[in-house]
Amino acid sequence: MLDKSPTKSPVNVPNDLAAHWMPFTANRAFKKAPRLLAGAKDMHYITVDGRKLIDGAAGMWCTNAGHGRTQISDAIGKMAATLDYAPPFQFGIPQAFELASRIADLAPKGLDHVFFCNSGSEAADTALKIALAYHQINGQGARSRLIGRVRGYHGVGFGGTSVGGIVGNRKIFGSLLAGVDHLPATYDREKQAFTKGEPEYGAHFADALEDLVNLHGANTIAAVIVEPMAGSTGVLAAPKGYLKRLREITQKHGILLIFDEVITGFGRLGFAFAAERYGVLPDMLTFAKGVTNGAAPMGGVLVRDTIHDAFMTGPEHMVELTHGYTYSAHPLACAAGLATLDIYRDEKLFERSNKLEPKFADAIMSLKNQPNVLDIRTVGLTAGIDLAPQADGVGKRGFAGLNSAFHDHDIMLRAVGDTLALTPPLIVTEDQIGEIVDKVGKVIRAVA
Ligand SMILES: Cc1ncc(COP(=O)(O)O)c(C=O)c1O
């Protein structure tokens, strides 16, 4: 934290907020009324003025095991003291191999190889590049089109931005990647409002892929990337049967299917990965966030052996995939990842999330009759609450909700436009779910 001249405050509160240009933040509004955090433990954040906020957002869909897990911080500290950095190109550390094996063991059978990077954005770009390269080496280089989905979010690299379908994230960045197209979003409020779990209506949205195949030709399409549950756009669960149908169509046309599980991975939907919940095996699966409980930056791509093995040809002294990052499989991230997976296993947090899902859904749905609530969607330990936009601007009510939650009601939640997103750590208790719902109700009334 920037602290040019220390104050008398018990924690370092910066007296100059100008230099830090904050990501995905309304900077001017923030700097007038900062939301500054100083600590975190279990289900709570501590603000710089010592208030305790219940975490309704797992930070940002990251801290599935709750905050301040000493098992993780000890592992990071020990690793930092033992091996601060190791080059990941042409050298390796045992922990990276162990972590890859353990992640592959958690994944559906067939997704047996892990390529590490440092974020969800890098994971999306890595998966898209592997798809393009795979078709090249397979003699199908004409397959260069990438298909995303309207309202999809795959991070902020050029690849992820291009296949992403949130207009506000794209429109100021020029023409982005060529040869990208989008499936329609899977949301229809009239047919799906107030659904717990996967909506009955909407499997047919997958058939739009056949239209894109007709339009472009299957032999020009490399891959389709979708989130099993679109989180950043307001929690949209896949309709029943949608992902299966997408799998059938991609398979029929030789198109790779990539699941972006940056949010849904590591228990959010009650399973290690949503692919298991839906019984659908993608060709690649991206993860980040929960892999280290948010304690160190890490992302990665799980890759099917058929794809991985296709690269393992040619002279053995040659690099098989000319891609990677200086911090791929960073020692601190690997240590954090291994300690995190231990906690998930020992505390059975994925099962816990699964068991809590119906109670969480019922509790959140009790907000249905609060003012301005247009829809509530729940899936796993995740909920999106759409509020009616204010007459004077889209997103104003949601932003007011974020501020009211932080400043007046001691809860951290996420606001995306006028949607409030709830996604607590998987250690949340039933009482704490009640507390979250009570506070969110107060927030909704405060911004009515
Ligand atoms: C589905 C999905 N993909 C990719 C990303 C990007 O991850 P990161 O911010 O770590 O780059 C996110 C972030 O929220 C996400 O939800």
pLDDT tens digits, 132-151: 999 999 999 999 999 999 99
Tokens of 139: 């003699």
In a domain, 19, yes or no: no
pLDDT of residue 10: 55
Tell me, yes or no, whether 330 and 368 share the same domain: no
Q: How far apart are CA 244 and CA 426, in angstroms?
A: 27
Please state, in angstroms and as integers, the Cα–Cα distance from residue 388 to each residue in 27, 165, 167, 288, 369, following that order. Answer: 24, 22, 20, 32, 13
pLDDT of residue 3: 41
Q: How far apart are CA 274 and CA 228, in angstroms?
A: 7
Residue 430 sits in which domain range?
35-65+348-446
Tell me, yes or no, whether 313 and 190 share the same domain: yes
Q: How far apart are CA 162 and CA 141, in angstroms?
A: 20
In a domain, 4, yes or no: no
pLDDT of residue 13: 81
What's CA 198's distance to the chain center, in Å? Answer: 18
In a domain, 113, yes or no: yes
Q: How far apart are CA 36 and CA 386, in angstroms?
A: 26
* Amino acid, res. 203: A
pLDDT of residue 15: 80
Tell me, yes or no, whether 251 and 342 share the same domain: yes
Measured in angstroms, how far is the CA atom of residue 155 from the centroid of ligand 1? Answer: 5
Measured in angstroms, how far is the CA atom of residue 286 from the centroid of ligand 1? Answer: 10
Tell me, yes or no, whether 105 and 153 share the same domain: yes
Q: Which of 289, 318, 346 is the last residue of a domain?
A: 346
Residue closest by Cα to atom 7 of ligand 1:
120
Tell me, yes or no, whether 318 and 430 share the same domain: no
For the chain, what percent of residues have pLDDT higher than 90? 97
Residues with CB under 6 A from ligand 1: 119-121, 124, 153-155, 227, 231-232, 260, 262-263, 288
Tell me, yes or no, whether 57 and 128 share the same domain: no
In a domain, 9, yes or no: no
Q: How confident is the model at residue 12 (pLDDT cuts 50, 70, 90)?
A: confident
Measured in angstroms, how far is the CA atom of residue 8 from the centroid of ligand 1? Answer: 38
In a domain, 172, yes or no: yes
pLDDT at 8 over 70: no
Q: How confident is the model at residue 282 (pLDDT cuts 50, 70, 90)?
A: very high
Tell me, yes or no, whether 329 and 211 share the same domain: yes
Q: How far apart are CA 268 and CA 293, in angstroms?
A: 12
Q: How confident is the model at residue 5 (pLDDT cuts 50, 70, 90)?
A: very low
Contact 111, 104 (CB under 8 A): yes
Mean pLDDT for 56-67 is: 98
Query: In the chain, how many domains are there?
Result: 2
Which residues are registered as beta bridge partners of 258?
A: 225, 284
Closest alpha carbon to 123 in 319, 282, 323: 323
Q: Which of 279, 313, 346 is the last residue of a domain?
A: 346
Q: How far apart are CA 160 and CA 126, in angstroms?
A: 10
Tell me, yes or no, whether 258 and 369 share the same domain: no
Q: Which of 285, 311, 346 is the last residue of a domain?
A: 346
- What does the radius of gyration of the chain's CA atoms come to, in whole angstroms? 22
Tokens of 164: 């992403």
pLDDT at 95 over 60: yes
Give the nearest ligand 1 atom to 118 CA. 10
pLDDT of residue 7: 41
In a domain, 1, yes or no: no
Tell me, yes or no, whether 39 and 162 share the same domain: no
Tell me, yes or no, whether 48 and 196 share the same domain: no
